[in-house]
Every structure is written in C-alpha cells, then in structure tokens.
Amino acid sequence: MLKNQKSMKKLFTYLLCMLFPMMVLAQERTINGRVVDSETNEPIPGVNVIVLPSYRGTITDMDGNYSLTNVSSTDQLQYSFIGFANQTVEVGEQTTINVILVPDINELDEVIAVGYGVMKKSDLTGSVSSVGLEDINMTENITLDQALEGRVAGLNVSSGDGTLGGATEIFIRGVGSINSNTQPLFVIDGFPIEYSYDRERIALDEEDPLNPLVNINPDDIESIEVLKDASAAAIYGARGANGVIIITTKKGEAGKTNISLNARMGFKQPMKRMDMMESVDYAFYQHEQFSSDERWLTPETYKDSTNTDWQEQVFSQGAALSQSYDLAIDGGSEQTTFRTNINFTDESGVVKGSSLEKFSGSFKLNHKAGRWLDMFTDINLATSGNQTSGTGGTGGTYKGYGSVMKALLTPPTKDPFYVPTDEELDADGTDLSNPLTSMNNSQNIKKNSEMRINTRFMFKLHPSLTLMVRGGYRMSFAERRQFYPSTTSKGKNTNGLSSFSTNNKSTLLGESTLTYLNTFNKVHNVNAVVGLSYTKNTDWYNDAANSDYQYSDLGIYNIGVGVDPYVPQSWYEEPKLQSTLGRLNYNYDNRYFATFAYRIDGSNKFGTGHKYAYFPSGAVSWRASEEAFLQGAEWLDNLKVRASFGITGNQGIPSLLSRDNYGLHKYILNGSLTSGVALNNVRDDNLKWETSEMIDAGIDFLAFNQRLSVTFDVYRKDTYDLLLNNNVASQSGYVTDWTNVGSMRNEGFEIALRGDVIKQAGFKWTLSANYARNENKVLKLNGESDHMIMDDYILQEGQPVGTFYGVISDGIFHTDAEAEAGPVEQKYIGENRPGYRRFIDQDGDGIITPDDRVKIGKGHPDGFGSLSNSFKYKGLELRMMFTFRHGSEIYNGTRKKLEEMFDNKNKNKLATITNRWRPENSYYFGDEGNPTNDEFANGVRAELPWVRYDDKLFQTYHIESGDYIKFRSVTLQYRFPSNIAQKIGMKQLSVRTTFENIYTWTKYTGYDPEVSMGKNKGLMPGMDNAGAPTPFVYSFGVNARF
C-alpha cells in the first residue's frame, strides 16, 4: 500500500499546491536541501516546503531536492507530505537544510475515486473496496481480471475456457440478472466502458471471445476501486446494478524525467494432466465392445505398438514462453506533467500454436493553466490479438470438440503423424481426426484494437466551486478471421471454409459536472456534485465467409480464393444514454456523515414512457471513534458504522425491442433467393429498466496504530422487473417475448481483514484475508410457471440461479434380478440389463423420464475468498496468496465424455474405466495391475456401466464438488538499496521471481475446479468441457527506474 499511497498523496498534494498562490518576494537568501524517508533513506519527491509565516513555498523534485529563494533567517520552513509527519525547522543561518521525514501513514486520509469525484477514505459512507498497486502486484497480470482475482471481498472472477486473453466474467455480490447483463461497469479515469462481447462470425463454436477488457494494460493501473453497494454505484444509475469498477491509471509526476522499465519473462506448463488409458488397456476395451471387428489388432500386439500420449502432443513441448515489457517515461514541471508508456506482451499458451500478443501505448498530459484551469488528456492506443488452436474446449455448446478434448479422446494406438481418412474427417465428432491436423492446418485469429481519448478540463470558478468538462471518444475494432482447409474436418465438407467478421464500436462521451466543496463553521463539511452526461455508442458489424477452396495456400490472407461464397451480413445500431446526476456529501464534525446521490438515465432502448428512470440512493455513517467518549481509547484509530440504501438499474438488453422489427426472411422463388421480411419483434411500449434495490450495512474498524483493519458488510439486493425473454403461447406467432417479469435476491456478507502481525525494525509480516458469502434466490419468474428449464439448468422460484437439473445416479445394476426390478430408462424399456445405470425414480412410475429430474447441484459458490501474506525484510519481500471457494458444484463434462463408452469405440477413455462392469467371462486378460476377471465377476466392484451402455442423461455421477484451496501465487522480490542502484545509474532497481498456480487442494478430478465455460457464466456456471488446462507459471521480472 505504501507506494500506492504515496503516489496518490503526491497527486493530491499537487492538487492542493495549485491552490496556493506563488508570489515572488524580495530576495534575501537561498536555501537548498534534500528530503528523505527515515525508513528507506530514499528521497521523497513532492514534499511541500512552505515558508512560514508567508505561506509561499515549493515542492521537492524527484530526487527530493528543493530550493527556496528569499528566505529570511527568522522564517520557519514547514515540510509536509501526506503519509509523513509534518516537520518545522527554524532557518537561522543555515543555507542547506536536509530533512528526514518520519512516516505517519494514515490510511484514512487516502483519497480514492468514487465516480465523478474523489473522497477521503474516512469520509466514505458506501461500500467501496480499493485494490492498490501492492495487491495488483501479487500476480503477474496479463489481463485486468487477474489483477482483481482474490483481491476484493465479494468479487468473484469466473474464469473461462483457458483461451489466452479469453473472456472471464466478474460477479460482484452474485448474479443480479437473468437474461440481462451481469457484468459490472468499468470506468477508466472517468470514462465508462460497458463489458460487452464482440459480435463475431465463427466457423466453430470453440473459443471464448476475446476479453472485452484485454486492451487495458495492467502495468498502467495505479489503483482500482470497486463500488459494491447501491449508494456508491447509484451515481452510475442504469449501469450500476452489477457494481462499478473504477480504474485509475498512473499519471506523470513533476520533477526530473523518470524512465521505468518493467520486464518479465515466464514459462508455463499445464498444471495437471489426465490419466488416460494406454494402448494395451485401450485394446482390451475395444475388444470388449467389438470383439468381432476385424479392424482391431489383438491386445497382445498392442503391447509393442504405438502408444502416443496425445496430451503430450498437443501441449507445448517443454514450456511455453511468455514475455512482457513495459516502458514508461514520465516527468514534467509543476504546471505540466506527462506520462507516456509502451507495453508489449507476447504469450504462448500451453496448447501448441496458441498465443496472445498485445501492444499498447499511451500518452497522458496534465497541465495547470494558472489558478483557474487544470486540464488532463489521455490518448491510449492498444491492440491485442490471439491465435487459438481450438484451445477453447467446446465454447459452451459442449457438443463439438476443442483440441484438448480431441487430444484426450484420440486413441493412443494412433501415430502422432497419422493422416486422417476422409471418413474420419467427415464424421468428426463421432469419429476423430488427428487433433494435430486441425491445429496445424487451421487458422483462427482474433484481433481487437482500441483507441481511447479522454480529455478533461477543470475550471476553478471559485475556491469552492469547480466545473469539470469531459470529452471522450473510444473506438474499438475487433476482427475474427478463420480458415479451415479441406484437410480439416471443419473444412472438408465445403472443401475449405473461411470466415471473416469485424465489429467496430465507438463511444462518444460528453460530460460536465459542477463540484462544490466547502466547510462552514469548521464542522459542516459539504461536498456536492451535479452533472450532465451524454453517451452515444455506435456498433457496426460485418461479416463474410467463403468456401470451396481449390487451393489453400493463401488461407485467411485471401479469402477470395474460394469460389462458393456465403451471403455476407451487416448490422448497425446506435444505443444512446442521456443522464443527469448529482450527489451531496455532508458531514458534521467528521463524525456524522450522510450521502445522497441520484441519477436520471434516459436510454433509447426502452419503450415510450419508460425511457427515463430515476435512481436515488442514500447513506449515513457514524465515526464513533471521533466521539468524545472514545477519544480516550488511544488504540482505536477508526470505528465507523455505515448503512446505505439505493436503487440501481440494468439496461443490458438487445437493441430494438421497443420497436416493430422486420428481420430478413428470404424465400426461394424460381429457384433463387428472393428478398423477404417478417416481423421478429412486436413493439413494446412498456419495456422498462431492470431495477435493483440494495441495502447495505457495514463496519470499518482500524486499530492498534493501524496495524489491524477490519471491514465487514452485510447486504441484500433485490432485483425487480427482470428483463426476460419470456415464454409466450405460440399461437401468438412468437414463442418468446421480452418483458419485465420476475425478481431475484442476492444477500450475503463480506469481511476483509488486514493486520501487521509483526512490525519490528526492518521486518514486517502483513496478513490479509477476505471472505464473502452470497446467497442467490429467484423470488419470482412469471405468473404461469414457477420455473424455466435451460439446457441442464433449472431456474426456479426459491432456488439460486445456476442450479443443475438432472437425475440422480444410484449405481449400476449388477444382476438380472436387479435390472428386472428397475427402474428402467425410457429408451431401455424391455431391454434393461446388468451393467446399465440405475437412477432414482422420483415419480415412482418405474420409468426414468425427464419427470424424474431434480436439482442436483449448483454452480455458483456459497462463499469464496483469499488469504495473502507478505513478509518484508529491508529490500527483500515475499508475497504469497491463496484463494479458495466452497459450496459450488461442477459438471465435469470432461470426465463424462471420457467415461461414456457407447458408440465411442474409436475414442480413448480415462484410465478409470477399467473399473467398468463386465459380464462374466468377458474378454479380458488378467494383466498385472489390472483387476482379474474373477474380481469383476458379476461386476461386484464396478462403478461404471458396461461398454454398451449409452450414458446420455444429465445426472449426478458427473457432478463433482467444486470446493478448492489454491496456492495461487508466490513472489520473491528484492529491491536493491538506492545507493547500489544509483551506482549503476538507476534510481530504483528490483528483481522478482513469481510462481503461479502452484498447487490446488481439491477433490475435483478435472483440470481445474476454477472453471466455467460458455458465454453465459452467470446463468450457467460450473460447466467444464476440457478447455486449455490452467498453467503453472514461473516467471522472472525486473523493475528498474532511471
């Protein structure tokens, strides 16, 4: 926190400095000196040096040096810097005054961004969590979500399918919507960015889309604030219901020019591998299933035959290299500061051929034009691209196969270099083609470029009145290019297939706010802001696809080679938002605080009469520690109780639902396509906002000279008017219609602790932990039915979202008598037999039908949190972090596919299937290590059904506990003493080594329990379909400042 605080304080100092008039007086004497930190002996830049009693002054430069002219010997010099105790020195006859400042860190004075303004942490009335640089540095972050993971109580990062730069989803205090957007709003230096996936045309449903925030450079982040409760988030009104994440980026510092380099290099390898059958076991299995098939060799032959480890084949040999360089230059004068940086990141994935390349550059300029104008501008350009090799498992459809799943399924008896036959390519999915063939021959590239300009003018109209005018423009250009030649299964049927799509989005932002800041009678503190905001988005989508490639040499680079093009498509829309906002913070004597905030949002997506919505909120807090009766308690630094209530909204529905909407429906006349249209959506004038009401109560506790800090919050969030694509009677001509129905509740608590366990000279052990518990419940869906079944999930009143719905497995039938007695699966009526699965027959009709489905698990956790330790001894620092989660289940689709045997005779299976039911005297050799035939007689020990059983039901056998504790990261960092650093021409130098994803304690048998695939992780969490495994990462980094 230290560094972060200092930087923030510097910023604040600058802001304060400009309030003081700097007049030139008659010359008397010049004083020089240097200010250093008593702990580190490092110079402190930005220290305020004021000449008393005249109150003119200066600040120290980057080397801590200052110079003051015209000082008289009777003057006093006062040195102040936030985070350090003030010092006053009599000038006397000295001409050089060097000062050592003693830290006086008061985290209550920390200034944090709260949206349309900053506030002292002690003044907060809402629930806001800060993530500082020190937290961000726990892991080596490629994308923003990695910086957030485990850092904030109540913020859950749901990771994706392992695609590099792929989409993860962030849930703050649970899932707050059914069909609407569930992601928080991101605000970068005041510029709001909504989390939305790019539209793209993809030939295969195999990869997650690129993370919409991939272009935010984690090295550029100074601090992150997470606004969790309604009182904090309500200032963002219609976009605040899922919480708001405010990102403050690093700014330039006055003084000598700094050059900072942060370089890292790392290696990764899969954290875990599946234990698959080897050739011999595979042969036994094949023979048992199809003993008469002449294609199989005898098992004996397999002993000497090929035994390919396909995981080894598709994972990068050795270790995948990644590297990242961030070079930043900042500096400037008191009037003008700048910061510019470039960042280059190149990552290889654990799956061969997968990679992520990022480049970003920014230029930031702060300029103070006299006393009345302060301007800031940030120009940011970033581009990211990833190349995937079908790494994404199955991308949520869990029907196709990603390359990892393919590798697991490909028989070990196949040679890595085998060329798939036409039949294999054709029947991909039932038969398998060589996974390497498609990985090596197909091209799948996603690129996302972004430009952001964010300019802000602050006019100081009066010492207590500031006008802020912001203009911003953000443009993002996303493209996906794919090519599958005829040698791959995807391209075979069409003799090559390519697709190309672009999604070009822009946001134009105009905002102005008026801030009033004043204190009356020394006890009435007022901080008020009112403002107007206007956002216009554009969203352009285009695609093209072609097939029939008579030669494939040019791939994605010339899709015109194909001779059988598909019909291209395009789409354009313009969502707009117009808002009025305001907030009043009042506190009495720093003891009683109250905040009222409101926002009125108008969105063009909604029906006539519901375009505008009003989002008020209020909060009160009481700093008990400032009361007279607690003044005696020296050990108590802060005790604050808070309570808030507010309303926020959600507008994340598709465009054009409030209009009649005639979509393309072409018909074939005279043998060729002819234009046709039909009504896809009926105008709905009543469509309105999704509204959340949140109550939050919390306690902030800080004691023992700030060595112990505890924050505790309880909350309840009720969301009404859920926007739902509701089922309607199809005699209307439609099967669904978007309406506001239903409500949902999230309630829970969060606790965050931080303590300096040991704080002695030179040594400091800091322990921090957070934990959050959230209970989600659907209160109401709609009038007709209390539940909705969505694939293998049920959404039911009284139940949480993400509830798995299926039948309960009850072992297998071992004897004819058992099988006879049933219950029997619908498709096996009259054919039930030993070796088939038994399920619980809920309705007692003797037949297992969809009616026997019950709730069989839930994908969202009950609770989750993290535990971090940091040990500091002089320049040496050791940081480690554990994360954990409990109370969730995972549908292990990977294991299901790798254990189902029917119709999959050409696919390899998990080694566990040797524990399958076998008929007496089945074809099996009693190889060493394998159970004997006798042991399997009548399948006494078998847990898995026999080879001919078609395991198609969604059932409990594949549901596993998702509880885990993960040793997420450990970093060892050494910061060279400044005198050594200076000898080699540096101001600062530190080296570090980081290990990530070191070990996971879990019963989960898949690659990683921290998994959720598919594009709707909120509604359909906990689905594992063999994405790229989480890598173990080893990296080495250098941070230098010149």
Partner 1 sequence: MRKINIYQFLIILFGLSLLAGCEDVIKEESFSVLTDDNFYENQTHAIIAVNGVYRAMTDRNKDNTQNSTYGMDGNLLMMNKLSDVNYNDGAKANYGGPIAIATLSENDVVTSNVWALSYMLINRANNVIGNLPDVPMDSVLQQRIVGEAKFLRAFAYFNLVKYWGRVPIHTDETRDFEDATILKGRNSVEEVYGQIISDLEFAEQSLYFKYNSFDENLTYWELPPEAIGRIIEQDEDGISYMRKVLEITDKGRATVGAARSMLGRVYLYLASAKRYGQLDGYEWVDDFTAYQRARDYCGKVIDYGHYSLLDNYQSLFSTSNKYHNESIFEIGHDDTSEDQGSIFGYWHSGSTRIAARPEYVKLFDATFDTDADLFVDSLTDARLYHSASLHQNKDKIMITKYGMKSDFKFPRGWPEHLKFINWIGSGFNGPVNVPVIRYADVLLMMAESVNEIEGPGRAYEYINQVRARARRSNVYPTNYPADLFGLTQADFRSQVWDERKRELSFELHSLSDLVRTGTFMEKIQATKYLSQSQDVFDDEKWANATSSVLAGNVSEYNMLFPVPLRERDLNPNLDQNPGYNGSAN
> Rounded to whole angstroms, how far apart are CA atoms 145 and 208?
15
**Min CB(95)–partner 1 separation in Å:** 36
Task: Select from 102, 461, 757, 876 the one that contacts partner 1 (CB under 8 A).
Answer: 461
Q: Sort 256 into a burial class: Cβ within 10 Å, 0-12 / 13-18 / 19+.
A: middle
Q: Measuring CA to CA, which residue among 38, 129, 114, 30 is closest to residue 81?
A: 38
**Min CB(505)–partner 1 separation in Å:** 14
Task: Select from 273, 367, 591, 683 the one that contacts partner 1 (CB under 8 A).
Answer: 683
CA 953 and chain centroid, separation: 32
Q: Is 3 in the site for partner 1 (CB under 8 A)?
A: no
> Rounded to whole angstroms, how far apart are CA atoms 951 and 918?
16
Q: Is 572 in the site for partner 1 (CB under 8 A)?
A: yes
- Counting residues that bind partner 1 (by CB under 8 A) gives 80
> Rounded to whole angstroms, how far apart are CA atoms 510 and 512?
7
Task: Select from 85, 678, 940, 984 the one that contacts partner 1 (CB under 8 A).
Answer: 678
Q: Is 292 in the site for partner 1 (CB under 8 A)?
A: no
Within 8 A by CB and 6+ apart from 724, the residues are: 178, 179, 738, 739, 740, 741, 742, 781, 782
Which of the stretches 149-157, 407-415, 446-454, 656-664 binds partner 1 when contact is defined by CB under 8 A?
656-664
Task: Select from 103, 416, 471, 919 the one that contacts partner 1 (CB under 8 A).
Answer: 471
154/582 with CB nearer partner 1: 582
**Min CB(737)–partner 1 separation in Å:** 5
CB 137 within 8 A of CB 970: no
88/570 with CB nearer partner 1: 570
> Rounded to whole angstroms, how far apart are CA atoms 693 and 986?
53
Q: Sort 123 into a burial class: Cβ within 10 Å, 0-12 / 13-18 / 19+.
A: buried
Q: Measuring CA to CA, which residue among 771, 992, 976 is closest to residue 879?
A: 992
Partners of residue 245 on adjacent β-strands: 186, 226
Peptide bond into 420 cis (omega under 30): no
CB 738 within 8 A of CB 757: no
577/597 with CB nearer partner 1: 577
Name residues contacting partner 1, limited to 576-595 (CB under 8 A): 576-578
CB 99 within 8 A of CB 79: yes
**Min CB(665)–partner 1 separation in Å:** 4
Q: Is 533 in the site for partner 1 (CB under 8 A)?
A: yes
749/805 with CB nearer partner 1: 805
Q: Is 311 in the site for partner 1 (CB under 8 A)?
A: no
Could you give the residue ranges of the DSSP H alpha helices within 478-544? 489-492
> Rounded to whole angstroms, how far apart are CA atoms 557 and 546?
12
Q: Is 780 in the site for partner 1 (CB under 8 A)?
A: no
**Min CB(440)–partner 1 separation in Å:** 24
Q: Is 734 in the site for partner 1 (CB under 8 A)?
A: yes
Name residues contacting partner 1, limited to 408-427 (CB under 8 A): 426
Residue 287 in tokens: 């023979």
Q: Is 731 in the site for partner 1 (CB under 8 A)?
A: yes
Q: Is 469 in the site for partner 1 (CB under 8 A)?
A: yes
Residue 163 in tokens: 């695609």
CB 529 within 8 A of CB 116: yes
Name residues contacting partner 1, limited to 126-185 (CB under 8 A): none
Q: Is 532 in the site for partner 1 (CB under 8 A)?
A: yes
> Rounded to whole angstroms, how far apart are CA atoms 805 and 917?
27
Q: Is 672 in the site for partner 1 (CB under 8 A)?
A: yes
Which of the stretches 100-108, 186-194, 725-733, 755-763 binds partner 1 when contact is defined by CB under 8 A?
725-733
**Min CB(676)–partner 1 separation in Å:** 3
Task: Select from 554, 567, 821, 984 the one that contacts partner 1 (CB under 8 A).
Answer: 567
Name residues contacting partner 1, limited to 807-846 (CB under 8 A): 827
Q: Is 494 in the site for partner 1 (CB under 8 A)?
A: yes
9/199 with CB nearer partner 1: 199
**Residue 3 CB neighbour total at 10 angstroms:** 12
Q: Is 739 in the site for partner 1 (CB under 8 A)?
A: yes
Name residues contacting partner 1, limited to 587-646 (CB under 8 A): 602-605, 611-612
Task: Select from 275, 589, 784, 935 the one that contacts partner 1 (CB under 8 A).
Answer: 784
Which of the stretches 550-558, 662-670, 872-880, 982-990 binds partner 1 when contact is defined by CB under 8 A?
662-670
Q: Is 848 in the site for partner 1 (CB under 8 A)?
A: no
Task: Select from 679, 821, 876, 984 the one that contacts partner 1 (CB under 8 A).
Answer: 679
CB 508 within 8 A of CB 490: no
Q: Is 669 in the site for partner 1 (CB under 8 A)?
A: yes
Q: Measuring CA to CA, which residue among 654, 652, 651 is closest to residue 663?
A: 654
Which of the stretches 133-141, 729-737, 852-860, 1027-1035 binds partner 1 when contact is defined by CB under 8 A?
729-737
69/580 with CB nearer partner 1: 580
Opening angle at CA 227, ends 224 and 231, nearest 5: 155
Label residues 960-971 b or e (16+ Cβ within 10 Å = b).
bebbbbbbbbbb
Q: Is 663 in the site for partner 1 (CB under 8 A)?
A: yes
Name residues contacting partner 1, limited to 337-376 (CB under 8 A): 371-373
The dihedrals phi and psi of 142, each to the nearest 5 degrees, come to -95, -40
Partners of residue 864 on adjacent β-strands: 772, 885
Task: Select from 525, 655, 915, 993 the one that contacts partner 1 (CB under 8 A).
Answer: 655
> Rounded to whole angstroms, how far apart are CA atoms 123 and 940?
68
Q: Measuring CA to CA, which residue among 840, 799, 805 is closest to residue 822?
A: 840
Task: Select from 12, 344, 534, 704 the one that contacts partner 1 (CB under 8 A).
Answer: 534
